[in-house]
Amino acid sequence: MATALSRKDFVSDQEVRWCPGCGDYAILAQVQRIMPEFGIPREKIVFVSGIGCSSRFPYYMNTYGFHTIHGRAPAIATGLKVTRPDLDVWVVTGDGDGLSIGGNHLIHALRRNVDFKILLFNNRIYGLTKGQYSPTSEVGKVTKSTPAGSVDFPFNPITVALGSSATFVCRTVDVEQKHLGEMLKRAHQHRGASFVEILQNCNIFNDGAFNELSDKQIKADHQLVLEHGKPLIFGKNKDKGIRMNVQRAEVVQLGNGVTEKDLVVHDETNLSLAFMLANFEAPLPTPVGVFYATSRPTYDGAMNKQLADAKAKSGTGDLQELLNRGDTWKVN
């Protein structure tokens, strides 16, 4: 490979046009920063997106990019990845694009385990269409389209991904640059569909939706950072933990006889644990990190293997022989 790339090699010549203060800037910066670490030449990288604020992302990456139509990015990326397994494919989507109009494509891409990264920017609102509630907005949300409050029960992106048999599921926060970088790295390492929920602040239509997780004063008491093999501990003073009480998780204060040994140890390979963590609600903290990671053959890999096996078995197809197949007869 040629000389190592730097962050600015991944910055395109296009002016970034998100609203000032949008969480998308932080995500873009971190993605551009992390890309050189992967050591993949720019021409081998493709960003595919749908429609929405997040989906402008490819224009700002100096790689190959395809800004497609609403919700369809996972399907378009599937066709690309299957026929071009040599490419490093990233799907960028949002809570509306990925979970509403494109929900069907998202769940099928995850269950098939197509080898690409899906970055879902979740701001719990429709930004580009100016402020309607989204499939991740909470019940009671007052927006332009729900003046009396939303009566729509929201999706939890993590449980949707787990329920779709995704092989890699994680969550991070736009402003948590270090954690975001780690999650992107883990997602990139994974073979198969990697699902990364990025909690992202829309400062225009849903400002502060994730304050508990991004406000430095309070976040430590609300955020549970998942680390494989480590006990579930959180809190400003690292003095709170998660313990099982019969079959339910509860928050316990460490000390007074409660030690780390009493706490749940995170295991990324435990699907039941992943589901339990994904469903944490206050007073339980909000987990971030890798919920679940497992290994399963990829769709694109399996399909290309079928093609290779067919060629190994029958030889590369001969067109004339194919045309002449079946019962033929000669007319003189």
Partner 1 sequence: MALPPEAAGHAAESSGLRGGSAHKAGQRRDSVVIRFAGDSGDGMQLAGMQFTAESALAGNDIATLPDFPAEIRAPAGTIAGVSGFQVNFSSNEVFTAGDEPTVLVAMNPAALKANLDDVPPNGVIIVDKEAFSEANIKRAGYTSNPLNDHSLDKYQVFQVDVTKLTTTALHDTGLNNRAVFRCRNLFVLGMISWLYQRPIESTVRWLEGRFKKTPDLLNANVKALRAGYNYGETTEMFASSYEVPPARIVPGTYRNITGNTATALGFVAASVRSGRPLFLGSYPITPASDVLHDLASLKNFEVYTFQAEDEIAGVASAIGAAFGGAIAITTTSGPGMNLKAEAVGLAVKTELPLVITDIQRAGPSTGMPTKPEQADLLQAMYGRHGESPIPIIAASTPADCFDCAYEAVRIAIKYMTPVILMTDGQLANGAEPWPLPDANKLPEIKVEFRTDPNGFMPYIRDPETLSRPWAIPGTPGLEHRIGGLSSEDQTGNVSYSPANNELMVRTRARKIAGIAREIPPTTVFGDQNGGDLVVLGWGSTYGSIREAVKQIREKGKSVSHIHLRYLNPLPSDLESQLRKFKKVMVAEMNMGQLLKLVRADYLIDAIGCNKIQGRPFKVSELTSRISRVLEG
Identity of the residue, 86 or 281, whose beta carbon is nearer to partner 1 in the bound complex = 86
287 touches partner 1 by CB under 8 A: no
Q: Are 201 and 147 in contact (CB under 8 A)?
A: no
H-helix or E-strand containing 252?
A: strand 248-253
Which of 147, 165, 158 shows the shortest CA–CA distance to 196? 158
Integer-rounded Cα Rg, in Å, for the chain is: 23
Least distance in angstroms from the C-beta of 12 to partner 1: 7
Identity of the residue, 228 or 311, whose beta carbon is nearer to partner 1 in the bound complex = 311
Q: Are 224 and 279 in contact (CB under 8 A)?
A: no
Stretch that binds partner 1, among 92-100, 169-177, 242-250, 313-321 (CB under 8 A): 313-321
298 touches partner 1 by CB under 8 A: no
* Phi, psi dihedrals of residue 205, rounded to the nearest 5°: -110, -15
Q: For 177, left (φ over 0), alpha (ψ -120 to 50), or beta?
A: alpha
Give whole-number Cα distances, 191 to 36, 117, 166, 178, 305, in Å.
19, 9, 11, 22, 15
Least distance in angstroms from the C-beta of 29 to partner 1: 18
66 touches partner 1 by CB under 8 A: yes
Least distance in angstroms from the C-beta of 167 to partner 1: 18
307 touches partner 1 by CB under 8 A: yes
Q: How far apart, in whole angstroms, are the C-alpha atoms of residue 266 and residue 276?
A: 11
**Of the candidate residues 30, 54, 78, 93, the single one contacting partner 1 (CB under 8 A):** 78
The amino acid that residue 215 corresponds to is D
Identity of the residue, 163 or 235, whose beta carbon is nearer to partner 1 in the bound complex = 163
83 touches partner 1 by CB under 8 A: yes
* Phi, psi dihedrals of residue 212, rounded to the nearest 5°: -55, -25
261 touches partner 1 by CB under 8 A: no
38 touches partner 1 by CB under 8 A: no
Interacting residues with partner 1 (CB under 8 A): 12, 14, 41-46, 48, 51, 58-59, 61-69, 72, 75-84, 86-87, 104-105, 108, 303, 306-307, 309-311, 313-317, 319-320, 322-332
